[in-house]
């Protein structure tokens, strides 16, 4: 089984350190990782550093962050690179 993951869903081992805040309760969110976890990823999930979304991908936009406090899941949109505006 081969999964095609969007670039922002791939696990690099660093992204989960950039914690996002839950929009509901302001607790630190954990990164949701989709696909089959390897042993390192399973250990990270056991430590609560990432949340495993499983290898069955639901329809539509996938949330990328999970709140361990209230269970809310949300998608963090990357800031668009703003076009450089000449300032004078
Ligand atoms: Zn929350």
Q: How remote is the CA of residue 85 from the centroid of ligand 1, in Å?
A: 37
- Over residues 1-17, mean pLDDT: 47
The predicted structure's pLDDT at residue 1: 44
Q: How remote is the CA of residue 70 from the centroid of ligand 1, in Å?
A: 4
Q: How remote is the CA of residue 39 from the centroid of ligand 1, in Å?
A: 27
Q: How remote is the CA of residue 50 from the centroid of ligand 1, in Å?
A: 15
Both tokens of 56, joined, read 């069955």
The predicted structure's pLDDT at residue 79: 57
User: 66 pairs with which residues across the strands?
Assistant: 30, 73
Helix (H, G, I), strand (E, B) or coil at 42: helix
pLDDT in tens, 14-61: 544 456 889 999 999 999 999 888 999 999 999 999 999 988 777 888
Q: How remote is the CA of residue 10 from the centroid of ligand 1, in Å?
A: 23
């Amino acid at each position: 089984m081969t999964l095609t993951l969007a670039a922002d869903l791939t696990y690099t081992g660093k992204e989960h350190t950039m914690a996002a805040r839950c929009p509901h309760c302001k607790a630190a969110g954990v990164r949701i990782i989709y696909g089959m976890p390897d042993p390192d990823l399973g250990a990270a999930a056991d430590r609560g550093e990432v949340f495993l979304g499983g290898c069955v991908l639901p329809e539509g936009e996938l949330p990328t962050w999970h709140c361990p406090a209230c269970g809310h899941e949300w998608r963090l949109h990357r800031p668009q690179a703003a076009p450089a505006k000449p300032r004078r």
